[in-house]
Amino acid sequence: MRLMTWNINSVRLRLPLLTEVIGKVKPDVFCLQETKTPDEFFPVDALVEKGFTHHHFAGMKGYNGVCIFSKYPLSEKEVYKRCGKNDMRHISAKVKAPGKAFELHNIYIPAGGYEPDVTINEKFQHKLDFVDELTGWFAAERTSKAPMVAVGDFNIAPLEHDVWDSKKMQNVVSHTPIEREKFSKFFGGLGWTDAVRRFVPEDKKLYSWWSYRAADWDAADKGRRLDHVWVTKPLGGMLKKQQVLREVRGWTQPSDHVPVVVDIDTAA
């Protein structure tokens, strides 16, 4: 089973890119973040035509929005309000994959603004509160013994080599010590496995995002790994492969994020 996650930064604007990626990657299930469209305008038919007959999405005008599209049946669909906001950042569904069904969570953690100071930046406070709430919720409502996958744009690059220069990034939102600490607690709460880093050593640079501000993003290569795929222990031994589609960042009118793909042999 091939699973893909991508912060697409507007599904309607980048539908042609999405269909091209689907043709290239051939996922069985994909999750998008920042779909940026109300549900009534979501381009469902175009994706159903590609074989994704099962879907679950929650969107809003101009901001946020998450979706799950699957070739396998989905059940137990949920939309979660986080930090008292109905801002379409977290959904889940049970995926009836071959061999082993699993619960899939698609999460878009707030970016947090530009200043890593909660006294002057309420967006940063919201981000920290959001991660805390996720940490507590998963610990209280879910178990590490259940087959489960969490994917999405988590907007935190937790490891030294998840950014281009860890020392210079200490005061940059996404890699600050407090974000990394809270990320670690969230990650450790259910003993998640980092599916991508399972195949890429932690001492190797790995990015999934490059700023629009960089005129030559590829040459500068000042990236960050903000997009993640986690699995619980029952699926850890079923991980087979990962791909980060860096080349998609160079396509016409790209998202600043690129797709991240993981193969899981649920039938093993």
Give per-residue pLDDT as tens, 176-234: 999 999 999 999 999 999 999 999 999 999 999 999 998 899 999 999 999 999 999 99
Task: Please give the pLDDT value at position 82.
Answer: 98
Task: Please give the pLDDT value at position 234.
Answer: 97
Task: Please give the pLDDT value at position 212.
Answer: 96
95: pLDDT strictly greater than 90: yes
Of 268, 169, 182, 185, the C-alpha closest to 225 is 169
| Residue type, position 202, single letter | E
Task: Please give the pLDDT value at position 209.
Answer: 98
Q: Provide, rounded to the nearest whole percent, the portion of the chain with pLDDT above 90.
A: 99
Task: Please give the pLDDT value at position 196.
Answer: 98
Which DSSP category does 41 fall into?
G
Architecture (CATH level 2) of domain 2-264 = 4-Layer Sandwich (3.60)
268: pLDDT strictly greater than 90: no
32: pLDDT strictly greater than 90: yes
Task: Please give the pLDDT value at position 87.
Answer: 96
Determine the distance from the C-alpha atom of residue 222 to the mean position of all C-alpha atoms in its chain, rounded to a whole number.
20
Span 51-73, mean pLDDT? 98
Pairing of strands 54-58, 227-231: unpaired
CA distances from 50 to 66, 77, 140, 155 (A): 19, 21, 37, 29
Task: Please give the pLDDT value at position 7.
Answer: 98
CA separation for the pair 158, 22 (Å, rounded):
28
CA dihedral 232, 88, 227, 218 (to 10 degrees): 170
Which residues are 68's β-sheet partners?
31, 56
Span 125-136, mean pLDDT? 98
Confidence of residue 145 (pLDDT cuts 50, 70, 90): very high
- 206, 197 Cβ separation under 8 angstroms: yes
35: pLDDT strictly greater than 90: yes
Place of tokens 């209280």: 140
